[in-house]
Structure 1
Amino acid sequence: MKESYNWILNRLPYTEPFLFVNEIRHVDAKGVEGTYRFSPDADFYKGHFKNNPVSPGVILTECCAQIGLVCLGMYLLGKESEIGNMAIGMSSSQMEFLQPVFPGERVRVVSELVYFRFQKIKCEVKMYNEDDKLVCKGVLAGMIGTANE
């Protein structure tokens, strides 16, 4: 039976329209894999770009951060961590964009943990499209922990 990671999804500090995680396929102490489908009705497509909408790089980065940093960090902190006091923030990003992501496309994010210590988390992330082509890749870092730490 497939393990459920709904406890992580239910504790994410995001809601529509700024939630970019649909599913966590796998997570362990070394990394996480999750998916997101970009709604063709998302407001940012209306102006990016005229008559040829694509997902903005900043949104692709955010999707990678929500899956690759936040979901993994929550897993590493554990089910028993006090989510009400959760403090999350991205401190750095270095991304390379290789393919466009169009409205309605589903992407898969794979994140490998570089380190998690002193509430700082750093990961190497890769995003793939539905054809399993690499869309973007990079290194993201942030802080995650409870606010009283």
Structure 2
Amino acid sequence: MRLEYFQLVDRIETMDPQAGTVVCRATVPTESTVFEGHFPGHPLMPGVLLLECMAQTGGHMILARNNYDKMAFLAQADRAKFRSFIVPGDVLEVHSKLTHEGSGYAVCEARILKDGKTVADAEIRYRVVPFPSPELREKMLEFVRSVGHTGIA
């Protein structure tokens, strides 16, 4: 994870775009300026960043499902639950499953596991649109290759 750059997925472990499933790995950094304020002397991963991690995980799969021509933007999060504290150094397994797709939107059920136990989950809704600029598409393709996307033209 590179929290300051909102790069919250370290690696794609498995992905099946046709089935609408993806599992990613994310390791919470041991040091980050985020932890200076959240919280001094008791650093915790902010829930909003856990939510973003779940959103990015589903976004990787949606990007692949759309042949890397469309990007998923977070539109809504429902029923988000944070069941345990996440601290620096924790290794997370993030799962996302597509439950609906159509009319420029997608919905995924996502969850984060630590040591095999669910620590957070949510329903994530996305707006799926063509890339707004060629520069963004190129930067995104560069990043997704670095985390394990394969089969990109």
Aligned pairs for 1:45-56 within 5 A: 45-56=35-46
Q: 2:9 aligns with which of 11, 21, 39?
A: 21
Q: In angstroms, what is the RMSD of aligned CA positions?
A: 1.9
Tell me what 2:61 maps to.
72
Q: Moved runs in structure 1, 4+ residues, more than 3 A?
A: none
- Deviations, residues 22-58 of structure 1 (Å, cap 9, x unaligned): 1111111221110111111121111111211110000
State the shift of 1:103 in Å: 0.4
Take 2:119 and 2:3, find their aligned partners in 1: how far apart are those partners?
24
Contiguous gaps of at least 5 residues in structure 2: 133-153
The residue type paired with residue 121 of structure 2 is K
Asked if 1:90 corresponds to 2:74, the answer is: yes
Take 1:145 and 1:72, find their aligned partners in 2: how far apart are those partners?
14
Asked if 1:140 corresponds to 2:147, the answer is: no
Percent identity between the two aligned chains: 23
Take 2:107 and 2:119, find their aligned partners in 1: how far apart are those partners?
20
Contiguous gaps of at least 5 residues in structure 1: 1-13
The residue type paired with residue 5 of structure 2 is P
State the shift of 1:114 in Å: 0.7
Task: Compute the TM-score of the two structures, normalised by the length of structure 1.
Answer: 0.79
Asked if 1:106 corresponds to 2:86, the answer is: no
